[in-house]
Amino acid sequence: GQNIDQPTEMTATEGAIVQINCTYQTSGFNGLFWYQQHAGEAPTFLSYNVLDGLEEKGRFSSFLSRSKGYSYLLLKELQMKDSASYLCAVRGSDSNYQLIWGAGTKLIIKP
Amino acid sequence: EPEVTQTPSHQVTQMGQEVILRCVPISNHLYFYWYRQILGQKVEFLVSFYNNEISEKSEIFDDQFSVERPDGSNFTLKIRSTKLEDSAMYFCASSVQADWGYTFGSGTRLTVV
């Protein structure tokens, strides 16, 4: 079957760095996405990885290792507004369109 | 910044009634999607739409569901006979290309009573 695993919840301190991991087992691989979702709101696109390595975008970076079926989202200089759920989603190679979603990691930022 | 707009933001309907959820994708986007999220659960893919036809659909998208692009701007999801388990947040999304990140609308919260 197809599965995406993320920690359920993480806590970090304002100004610190946090790494949210995602492992996946899917029918092939055709890209991995990270989205941010505040409670009651729509997911917001953060990053897209299709090749191995690190993609940096401001305070957020995303890493992919296809051989390990592993990705992480790195958030630096945490701000209180970063408190949200972070969703990992994968497109398998048997689909051009459908994303398979993880359950999300709820990130709690403390002062 | 361009947005995907959805209406209504919240709809309450009686079981067995038909509902139509409306979406206006970003104007230069070519790929359109419906996803749903039951409260506290994962986002689930329903259907994708490209070139005026369904390109892919999930097991959830049975014959009670249909999508339509009635004109050049709107993209609708119809549920013919709603069930209690259809209660969820329904998100419309669009993208320029199939392998790009989506832009999601703010969602319609459907409550079936």
Closest CB to A43 among B43, B50, B98 = B43
Distance from CA of B105 to the nearest CA of A (A): 6
Q: Are A92 and A28 in contact (CB under 8 A)?
A: yes
Q: What confidence tier does A94 reach under pLDDT thresholds 50, 70, 90? A: low
The answer to whether the Cα torsion of B48, B54, B58, B60 is positive or negative is positive
Query: Chain A residues with CB inside 8 Å of B45's CB?
Result: 98-101
**pLDDT (average), residues A61-73:** 97
Of A41, A98, A104, the CB nearest to B58: A98
Mean pLDDT score, A79-93: 93
Q: Of the given ranges (B50-54, B92-96, B99-103), which has the lowest mean pLDDT?
A: B99-103
* DSSP, res A102: -
- Closest Cα partner for B48 from B61, B37, B38? B61
Judged against a pLDDT cut of 70, whether residue A96 lies above it is answered with: no
Q: Which residues of A touch B104 (CB under 8 A)?
A: 42-45
Question: Residue A91's closest chain B neighbor by CA?
Answer: B99
Contact A43 B104 (CB under 8 A): yes
| Consecutive H or E run containing B112 | strand B108-112
Mutate to test the interface with A, among B55, B102, B106, B111 (most CBs of A within 10 A): B102
Hey, are the CB atoms on B43 and A87 less than 8 Å from each other?
A: yes
- Per-residue pLDDT for A92 more than 90? no
d(CA A76, CA B58): 36
Q: How many CB pairs under 8 A join A and B?
A: 54
Provide the pLDDT for residue B10. 96
Average pLDDT over residues B8-37: 95
Burial class (CB in 10 A: 0-12, 13-18, 19+), A110: exposed
Report the C-alpha gap between A83 and B37 in whole angstroms: 20
Question: In whole angstroms, what is the distance from residue A108 CA to residue A106 CA?
Answer: 6
Average pLDDT, rounded, for chain B:
93
Is the predicted pLDDT of residue A72 greater than 70, yes or no?
A: yes
